[in-house]
Amino acid sequence: MESITLAVSGMSCGGCVNSIQNALNAKDGVRNATADLDRNEVHIEFDPGQIEQPALIAAIETAGFDVTS
């Protein structure tokens, strides 16, 4: 397992947090995704043998948010 923290812009409420977490947690290889509204970031634990960082970023962007780092 690996973990990364990505800065995310566009989160403004608990619904946004849920949208990001649901989008990521639905992906094969993601063990856990936790978005933090106060810090505007998401912490993701994932199996790099099943999913890579570009796919994680794409899932966030598809949910309507921007990854800023």
Q: In a structure prediction context, what are the per-residue pLDDT tens digits for the chain, which is 69 residues long?
A: 999 999 999 999 999 999 999 999 999 999 999 999 999 999 999 999 999 999 999 999 999 999 996
**Pairing assessment for the beta strands 30-36 and 41-46 based on DSSP bridges:** antiparallel
Question: What's the pLDDT score for residue 51?
Answer: 97
Query: What domains are there in the chain, each with its CATH number?
Result: 2-67 (3.30.70.100)
Report the candidate in 66, 63, 51 with the shortest Cα–Cα distance to residue 2. Answer: 51
Would you say 18 and 11 are in contact if contact means Cβ atoms under 8 Å apart? no
Would you say 18 and 61 are in contact if contact means Cβ atoms under 8 Å apart? no
* pTM reported for the whole predicted model: 0.93
